[in-house]
């Protein structure tokens, strides 16, 4: 500790990293001779990755006001029947949203595995509509094309959406066919047995069901699609 009267020591402003020093970022394999140090992971979050205003934007959507109230108690994950299969449990996804880690949240499988059973929303002690948050994230992931390409669930959503938008009703046969062709064509074979059972019991039609007044849908829907 030198005193301010000591004239041999100069204190300038805090030194910043001069241009000359490189900054090691990301998973760069440096300082290593071994080919495989892949056992080592470097996990840290920098504030520059975070989109701090994201949570506020999401919380303005209907049903998402509760995002501010989360105390991270974990009740949602505890009651969610799918949480054990998710990469981030529902609680962790909420925390990702609150802290602005958009990429992780929108690329997660969690939002697609959510079956909208509302167990989380009913049990949440802060009355957060977690299911609505999941829907909001689904929509944003699709709009930003961040959903995994061959992951069946967003593909299903897309197929379903297009069919209903055009015809007003769904036909399970055509949905499944289109879904499987896009994600896992060989999987059709394993579904054949179930399909045949459905045909046998008269529970599957091969025709496309349609609404008569499709013009009403055409009038109603397109402008609402601009609002996300």
Question: Looking only at residues 165 through 184 of this chain, which bind other proteins when binding is defined by CB under 8 A?
Answer: 168-172, 176, 179
CB closer to other proteins out of 40 and 211:
211
CB of 68 closer than 8 Å to CB of 59 = yes
**Would you give the end-to-end CA distance of the chain in angstroms?**
59
Reading the block at residue 163, the tokens are 């069919």
Kindly state the smallest distance separating residue 8's Cβ from other proteins, in Å.
44
DSSP-derived 3-state class of residue 152: helix
DSSP-derived 3-state class of residue 130: helix
User: Among residues 50, 51, 103, 157, which is the contact residue for other proteins, using CB under 8 A?
Assistant: 157
Containing H/E element for 86?
none
Q: Determine the Cα angle at 120 with ends 105 and 97, to 5°.
A: 20
CB closer to other proteins out of 42 and 212:
212
Q: Does 212 bind other proteins (CB under 8 A)?
A: yes
Kindly state the smallest distance separating residue 195's Cβ from other proteins, in Å.
10
Q: Does 146 bind other proteins (CB under 8 A)?
A: no
Kindly state the smallest distance separating residue 48's Cβ from other proteins, in Å.
24
Containing H/E element for 193?
helix 187-200
Show contacts with other proteins in window 43-82 (CB under 8 A).
Answer: 61-63, 71-79, 81-82
Distance CA 115, CA 85 (A): 12
Binding mask 105-134 for other proteins (x = CB under 8 A): --------x-xxxxx-xxx-xxx-x-x---
Show contacts with other proteins in window 1-40 (CB under 8 A).
Answer: none
């Amino acid at each position: 500790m030198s005193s301010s009267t000591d004239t041999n020591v100069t204190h300038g402003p805090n030194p910043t990293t001069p241009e000359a020093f490189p900054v090691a970022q990301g998973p760069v394999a440096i300082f290593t001779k071994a080919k495989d140090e892949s056992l080592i992971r470097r996990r840290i979050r920098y504030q520059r990755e975070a989109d701090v205003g994201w949570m506020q934007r999401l919380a303005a959507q209907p049903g998402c006001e509760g995002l501010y109230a989360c105390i991270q108690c974990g009740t949602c994950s505890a009651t969610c029947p799918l949480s054990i299969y998710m990469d981030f449990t529902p609680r962790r996804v909420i925390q990702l949203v609150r802290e602005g880690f958009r990429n992780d949240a929108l690329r997660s499988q969690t939002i697609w595995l959510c079956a909208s059973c509302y167990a989380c929303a009913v049990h949440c002690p802060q009355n957060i509509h977690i299911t609505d948050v999941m829907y909001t994230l689904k929509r944003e992931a699709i709009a930003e094309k961040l959903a995994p390409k061959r992951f069946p669930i967003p593909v299903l959503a897309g197929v379903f959406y297009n069919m209903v938008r055009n015809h007003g009703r769904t036909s399970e046969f055509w949905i499944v066919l289109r879904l499987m062709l896009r994600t896992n064509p060989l999987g059709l074979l394993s579904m054949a047995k179930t399909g045949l059972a459905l045909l046998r019991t008269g529970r599957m039609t091969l025709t496309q069901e349609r609404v008569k007044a499709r013009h009403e849908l055409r009038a109603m829907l397109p402008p609402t699609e601009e609002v996300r």
